[in-house]
Structure 1
């Protein structure tokens, strides 16, 4: 019988908090069971296994992140929307390192298809990029450019890898400005192979 008070959502939220404290890769069912004062087996009434828990953390974090981004970009377009999107992304990644790491894992496609957070992420991201006049396949290419730039920057910043005396925030702002210029001047179809 499931222990009173334990739910999949409560376990997922605790796991996300633990991920931020100790790192996403260090989250275990045993550590969570200890936190709740139960045996590991008690958690299996609510989550199938560690992979299921990791997927749940990824979906929770993805939802939180896109909520923050959506609030930031609301009513904005073009460069203002891009800067607001980028800043909200970076702030979430730096404030919630474990949750953010969860958003980078590969999740089963059937799970993603049913995810309202993923649909919302696509709508907001593609909506912002359409203001630059982009259509497929350029939209997908632009999403990949933004994601790889944002993720790479945040991953490097979070480990203290930027050693130059230049202010990291100022470099971030310049990177976003450069992305805006790239999006406004996206290469035409004649350059596609």
Structure 2
């Protein structure tokens, strides 16, 4: 009962976040500090290594710090959960231009099947065991990225015959809202 109550709490919290989507608190943020905070917010098993490769020339960006931490911690947690028991690697690569910041979250986990790719951002869709996932993580991420006038895309391979398995999420957003 307690476990299901916690799950309901997560679902309601996610729905409230979804409903609050017009409340964005934009501030000037150092993208490198935001990424370091996001990484340190995720509990990592000892057999999973996360590397941050920031090639950003101008780290200042105008966004909602807390919402973007939620985006990157959720993506990192998903990447950790996609890893085989033996462990794996997650690379966070950050690049920029004069106008935008681009973040790549690259893992060598099990990948996402072709059948599931079109459903990733659909609310309540989950591949996790019953009681483990709400199916709101990626839809919330999508909503937050769109509120920042950004884009999110995903490439994945779940078939070892076709090459190394893994997933890359690419998130881009403008440095400044115009």
Same fold (TM over 0.5): no
With the shorter chain as reference, the TM-score category is under 0.3
TM-score of the pair, normalised by structure 2: 0.24
RCO greater where, 1 or 2, for CA within 8 Å and sep 6 or more? 2
Larger Rg: 1
More strand by share: 2
